Chains A and B, each alone.
Chain A
Amino acid sequence: MSMLELRKISKVYGQGASEVQALHEIDLWVDPGSLVAVMGASGSGKSTLLTIAGSLEAPTSGEVVVGGALLSEMSRNDQARMRRRSIGYVFQDYNLLAGLTSVENVSLPLELDGVSAKKARAAGMAALDELGLADRASHYPDELSGGERQRVSIARAVVGDRQLLLADEPSGALDSTNGEAVMRMILGACKRGVAAVVVTHDAQLASWAERVVFLRDGRVVDQTMSPPSPESLLQPAPHS
């Protein structure tokens, strides 16, 4: 079963003369453990696709299924619960909450889900530790570098039992070294079974994905399996 299924998703903004068709009957599925990159020019509908997939906004038509559950049949509160439990977001400009430390940012989705502060903090610390940020746990976002902030953001997106990771230009504000590090972390999460969708302009980073979907004017114009990733080149060649 796919972790994420988009069935004939369309999205229209505005009405009448100001009507804009952002997405046009998009079909997309993402299996557990797989990484899908979405590429396209500005205004092609990449981010809209991501927000609809993550239940941040509703499609004009079509169906979104996350983990087998149809979003359109869910109440707002159930959708919120779905986001808390199943969906993690990574944004270009991190969107960490000022006023909360790194570990508090990471453990926030768990606390919002009713997990006790102590348990949530322990889980948050574990997530930060796995990403090498344990020593930055008590730092506030404005005390972290850009790369560190994005790593905290990834930790927040995968903490708990999240099965779907949605990243919108996760490396857009980072240099190439940090950008690659971020992609490596997302790929690492996928290897642990998380389904991921990454919106990016960067073809090199998109090459990390198993599949690349190209959007233009709200339509899927091409899909391709990714070339071998840089990591795969380092793996020993199979015995002939």
Chain B
Amino acid sequence: MITKLDRPPAQALPADGGLPARRAVVRWAWRLFRREWRQQLLILALIALAVAATIIGSAVATNTPQPANFGFGTAQDLATFQGSSPSLASQIASLQQRFGRSEVIENQTFTIPGSINSYQLRAENPQGPFSQPMLSLVSGNFPTGPGQVAVTSGVASDFNLKIGDLWHQGGTVRRVVGIVENPQSLLDEFALVAPGQVKAPSQVSVLFDAPGVSPHSIGPGVLTPQSVAGNALNPETISIAGLVLGMLLIALVSIGGFTVLAQRRLRSLGMLEALGATDKNVGLVVRANGGVVGLVGAVVGAVVGLVVWLAYRPSLEQSAHHMIGMFALPWLVIVLAMVLAVVATYFAASRPARSIARIPIVAALSGRPAPPRQIHRSAIPGIVCFVVAFLLLGYAGAGSGARPRTPELALGIVALVPGVILLSPFCLSVMARLGQRAPIAIRLPLRDLARYRARSGSALAAISLGILIAVIISLVSAARYSNVLDYAGPNLASNQINLYTPNGPYGQENLGPTQSGPSSASQLIRMRKTADAIAASLGSHDVVELETTSASLNHNAPGRNWSGPIYVATPQLLRSFGIKASEVDPNADILTMRPGLSGTSEMQLTYDSGGGVSAGPGQGPGRGTSASCTAKNGCFPNPVIEEVGALPSGTSAPNTVITEHAVHALGLQATIAGWLIESPSPPTAAQITNARQTATTANLTIETKNSAPSSSQIIDWATVFGIGLALGILAMSVGLIRSETAGDLRILAATGASSRTRRTLTAVTAGALGLLGAVLGTVAGYIGVIGYIRSNAENGGIAALGAVPVGNLLLILVGMPLIAAAVGWLLAGRQPSAMTHQLLE
């Protein structure tokens, strides 16, 4: 013989060749990956992107909130006492006697003049046994004696202090000796003094360790980091949920990719079987390839994610307002992301692995893929999943108040996913049947989608899931923002500034008992002049006086109640928004821009009737029967509400006002609450700082536009996300699906089909998948949201879905398929490179 081999008898070896055989085929899979990784670039990129995004997203999500030991330092227990408690000393002594080592931190809160913010005068030992993670020196020194203070940079800025300055604070003069910060909260604004230097602490914290002792058994104000945390939906959990969903999408997309790749290697796999490889060995080649793709993608994604994290960390520290360790990462999530990447691709490759192993060897050797199996796909399993999801979400929505039943909510959303996956092949069959009478260039791709629905079905499911996410976000946002009672959204327009008097809705009087009594006429004149000065500094003369009364609205029915200020519709206010007096119903009690408020039943106007019943903004007198709403107890039922679209929409702007007619009829007293300034352009940060400093001089508080997104912003972003995801999946899937029918394309080209025909084939494939994905995702989204919200009285029930984001849904249902078809048309049309069969090498 040509070679004699000393090997064990056949009976001594496993039938499938055992470890050496597995190692050989895995090695071959690895070599193939190295040779053909470009053909798998899309899946690789998806995996890498998903892992990188998970690392960055989870790192940001877990590091943005305050650290778990915030306020505890290195201690395991924190006891908090009122500074005015007469038994304070004995309580602290008791703790020290019982648990030994402890540290006392005293705080006294002061308001920063002209701001709604405050700072603390804090007595803390920089060398204390527990508090060191909560205190670090930026520059200078820590205070060591009675006449010294170190301040945070925020306090230094607010009071224009620098090291060496003398600071008159709370009747005491101290020299600033350093700049300090709380690494766990850069928003923690305080002035640090030596222990014992806070004369009248409003709050005293004691840090200590009480291992094994329940905090409740120690006292009512005792906490541990564990008792403060405890939210199951923490950032890590949310990251993992997002990761699982993302990997599911990738796995669905990858199935098509691995199938096409396996078919390209069909002759090689046939040869492997001809050489004596078992079905298991052949399947292992495809699975190993999937695993390798997942592994390489996971490693690349991890490297990219870590590099981006290291670059982004300093910025996050600034925005999260606390210091973040370089490797303070959610390692569990990262490891899980990498493992899931490998598992997802391995299992995505398993389906084509099984199919390939079933192909007869001779057919494989000749490169003939098995003809697609004509499987009847019933819609019933998918519909059952949708019904289950609908019921579960309905049960979740019926939870108490605004808080849903979380497990049912999660299960309901999860049940939508198999529903979409199971219905996808059915939808493809329906589409193919609908296209039976269409021209060949349309009929053929639709039929191919249905014939090869094992691949196109998974792609359709992935597209639908992307759209499903976008639709759910859009509908929930639209429903929440359409609530006319608990109005949500940005507080003001970007060019608006509210100035509040101390007794205005957000004035200092409402923030704490620092001052009392209404402002005098002379004070109001001074405030008005200050408001005018601030307006002038912003280039505006448009200063609208905001008057308020004790009146508020109350919704005497289940669900959310009224929120927001109600100012008086003075002629000046109406005029400033272009509303003529003649346009207002003389009998109207309330004018509002909140659409739908006029049609809301069970509304009551509550006010201070002089008997002590008073309703502040957003605080109704409580819900009772309509009969209990009488003038005697300060309640006016069913006020006449007129909708006036010209009023501003911000939650802090006068979006709802009480008419002078109602003020007079109810005998209400109007007081000046502040002024609304509208500048020609949004003020800069420097202008806002100047405005605040100016406001301080007149005891005014300012409010500028916050960062809360508007409904349209959320819905637009969700739409862009959904369409982007769907188009991305389409870009990856269509090429793979069309390559499966490359033989047909070659025949068409050989028989003289023009590039227009070839373009139409691809455009119809992309457009049909896009349209079906949009429809299926939208339907699934509506089923989920209707299921949840129909039983959720807190959010307005099914009526809350009246606000349909028509434009966005049209963009998804019409725009996205058209874009997909157009891109498919543009990118297709190239003549097939080879008209003959593909060689093995």
- Residue numbers of A with Cβ under 8 A of B are 51, 54, 56-57, 76-78, 80-85, 89, 91, 93-100, 104, 108-117, 119-120, 123, 126-127, 130, 141-142, 155-156, 158-162, 189, 192-194
Q: What are 8 sample pairs from A and B whose C-beta atoms fall under 8 A apart?
A: A80-B277, A81-B15, A81-B276, A95-B267, A99-B28, A99-B32, A113-B7, A120-B20
* B residues in contact with A81, CB < 8 Å: 10, 15, 276
A97 to B269: give the CA distance in the assembly, Å.
9
14 more contacts with CB within 8 A, not counting A83-B275, A160-B5, are: A51-B362, A56-B361, A56-B365, A57-B361, A96-B841, A97-B28, A98-B841, A99-B34, A108-B272, A113-B17, A114-B18, A115-B5, A159-B5, A161-B4
* A residues in contact with B379, CB < 8 Å: none
A100, B2: Cβ atoms closer than 8 Å: no
* B residues in contact with A158, CB < 8 Å: 1-3
A56, B2: Cβ atoms closer than 8 Å: no
A108 to B275: give the CA distance in the assembly, Å.
8
* B residues in contact with A99, CB < 8 Å: 28, 31-32, 34-35
* Chain A CB within 8 A of B332 CB: no
Point out the residue from A84, A89, A141, A160 that lies within 8 Å of B3, measured CB to CB. Answer: A160
**Given A81-B10, A98-B268; A192-B2 close (CB under 8 Å):** yes
A140 → B minimal CB distance (Å) = 9
Point out the residue from B4, B34, B268, B277 that lies within 8 Å of A112, measured CB to CB. Answer: B277
B3, A159: Cβ atoms closer than 8 Å: yes
A189 to B13: give the CA distance in the assembly, Å.
27
A115 to B16: give the CA distance in the assembly, Å.
12
- Interface of chain B: mostly helix, strand, loop or mixed: helix
* Chain A CB within 8 A of B360 CB: yes
* Chain A CB within 8 A of B279 CB: yes
Question: 1/0 per position for B1-39, CB-CB distance to A under 8 A?
Answer: 111111110100111111111011101100110110000
For the complex, count residues of B whose C-beta is within 8 A of A.
46
B281 → A minimal CB distance (Å) = 6
* B residues in contact with A160, CB < 8 Å: 3, 5, 7
A128 → B minimal CB distance (Å) = 10
B21, A76: Cβ atoms closer than 8 Å: no
- Residues 589-623 (chain B) with a chain A CB within 8 angstroms: none
B15, closest chain A residue (CB): A77
* B residues in contact with A142, CB < 8 Å: 841
A126 to B2: give the CA distance in the assembly, Å.
8
B275, A100: Cβ atoms closer than 8 Å: no
* A residues in contact with B2, CB < 8 Å: 126-127, 130, 155, 158-159, 189, 192
* A residues in contact with B8, CB < 8 Å: 114
A93 → B minimal CB distance (Å) = 6
Give the interface centre of B13, B21, B272, B360 by most chain A CB atoms within 10 Å.
Answer: B21
B13, closest chain A residue (CB): A114
* A residues in contact with B19, CB < 8 Å: 114
A21 → B minimal CB distance (Å) = 17
B12, closest chain A residue (CB): A114
Question: 1/0 per position for B276-314, CB-CB distance to A under 8 A?
Answer: 111101000000000000000000000000000000000
* Chain A CB within 8 A of B839 CB: yes
A98, closest chain B residue (CB): B841
B282, closest chain A residue (CB): A80
* B residues in contact with A193, CB < 8 Å: 1
B361 → A minimal CB distance (Å) = 4
* B residues in contact with A97, CB < 8 Å: 28, 268, 271-272
A113, B1: Cβ atoms closer than 8 Å: no
- Residues 249-285 (chain B) with a chain A CB within 8 angstroms: 267-268, 271-279, 281
